[in-house]
Structure 1
């Protein structure tokens, strides 16, 4: 499933927003922040002069930030005055994500949950989706893999 999400993120039109993902351990550059400013609602205004100072403040406190990206940004803005950086982060975080991935999941569920199989429990459908998205081998290859793994614990004396 993780590979599916990564492929989806790479093909996404909002790829330049990924520079604000602090969990990667890589801070945004000044050029990336200016690019974000130029596609924001404030694109008619020139990028603020103090954007560099705000980025420098982020670089100073970044090693101490912990948690998810949103938590890291919240901690930073709670302790630092970075109004322009706050505007950019709020703008990017307020953009709704596309629903193509969700539509794809519903399509797969719809093809598996037919009239003949309408009494499947939610747990069964969830399990089928996990298998569908995470196992890339055929049924026979998977059966051989499982049987080989289970036979490995038995040995002749």
Structure 2
């Protein structure tokens, strides 16, 4: 065996033993970010934001079958279609880093409510419908606490005009 062959064999064994350039610490860090448990209101906001991002991604406005006229006539509008909703739901939470696992769990729990909003209440703000009215995990603006009481000084002098009431 030549010196060159020995050198290549050593390099190859180092490469195989230490991985393919992946950083296990980075992978563990990402996993720990995904498993972070967010406060209920924040978790709901993350889910709603993910839903809105997917709505933007699917806003192409048509089915992709080829015969747009037939599809519009027989399948209805893509904008509020079940096909689009399924596309959105399949990709929920994919870009979420902190609290990704919680986001997926919440998406499953709220699937029926998201469908209700999609088909019957799209004119209402999604955050208000899901986080404030349905789950009651968040308070409306200028309200705070577990009972969502009005902020001190509401409506004219909220928190002595020194910031937001939380």
Q: TM-score, normalised by structure 2?
A: 0.25
Higher-helix-fraction structure = 1
Larger Cα-atom Rg: 2
Q: TM-score, normalised by structure 1?
A: 0.26
